[in-house]
């Protein structure tokens, strides 16, 4: 079986560190070579109440990584009686991914030191940044983010910035599209932005929601 024969999230994922937390976002398309295999794929996952992760790469590898991290963070919290920090979660993911996972990930969340966003590559390298994008559409998303990102953005403004970057990617990258997922993680925890709110913001920004 070749890599073209398995479902991949050749994708656009985004992480933003903002004034009070982080935004994680993605499209929802999965491909098998030139075939659009699925149009409703989850690519933003909660790892705990304060940490989330976006996925790009092989779907099976991504789902296994999510389950493993959710278990490890839960065990850590039970043993320590406290939440795992975002930096510790990113370090753990970077160590695990070196075992042969075909993935590109973003780990983001909010802890006692504020909001943090890390991009993690398939070789185990991880870098903290104010904003990042991973996946086949990332070059287009990053161009949009370069011009619109501000560290002091509100949650509402950051959602608009994420939507604009995802829209740029889905218009130019054939492996990105079929809906948007957006999550906000702040002092009160993990919050999925409702689809009707995302569609409303797309309409007000003048974008056609990619369904």
> What is the CB neighbour count within 10 angstroms for residue 200?
12
Residue 59 CB contacts under 8 Å (≥ 6 apart), including other chains = 6, 7, 8, 9, 30, 41
CB half-sphere exposure, 23, CA atoms < 13 A: 31
**Are 208 and 202 within 8 A, CB to CB?**
yes
Pull the structure tokens for residue 92: 């753990």
In the set 11, 12, 54, 164, the catalytic residue is 11
Measure the N-to-C terminal CA separation of the chain; round to a whole number of Å.
Answer: 30
- Nearest alpha-carbon partner for 133 in 143, 123, 122, 141: 141
Catalytic: 183?
A: no
Question: Which token pair is 166?
Answer: 């995802």
Residues marked as catalytic: 11
């Amino acid at each position: 079986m070749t890599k073209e024969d398995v479902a991949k999230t050749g994708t656009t994922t985004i992480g933003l560190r903002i004034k009070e937390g982080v935004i994680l976002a993605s499209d929802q398309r999965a491909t098998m070579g030139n075939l659009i295999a699925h149009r409703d794929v989850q690519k933003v996952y909660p790892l705990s109440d304060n940490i989330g992760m976006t996925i790009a790469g092989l779907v099976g590898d991504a789902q296994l990584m999510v389950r493993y991290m959710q278990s490890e963070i839960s065990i850590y919290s039970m043993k320590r009686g406290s939440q795992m920090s975002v930096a510790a979660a990113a370090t753990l993911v970077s160590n695990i991914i070196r075992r042969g996972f075909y993935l590109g990930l973003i780990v983001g969340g909010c802890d006692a030191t504020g909001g943090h966003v890390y991009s993690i590559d398939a070789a185990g390298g991880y870098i903290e940044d104010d904003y990042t994008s991973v996946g086949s559409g990332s070059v287009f998303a990053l161009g949009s983010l370069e011009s619109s990102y501000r560290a002091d953005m509100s949650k509402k403004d950051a959602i608009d910035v994420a939507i604009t970057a995802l829209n740029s990617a889905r218009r130019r990258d054939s492996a990105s599209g079929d809906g948007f997922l957006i999550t906000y993680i702040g002092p009160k925890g993990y919050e999925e932005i409702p689809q009707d709110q995302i569609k409303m913001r797309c309409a007000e920004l003048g974008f056609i929601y990619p369904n």
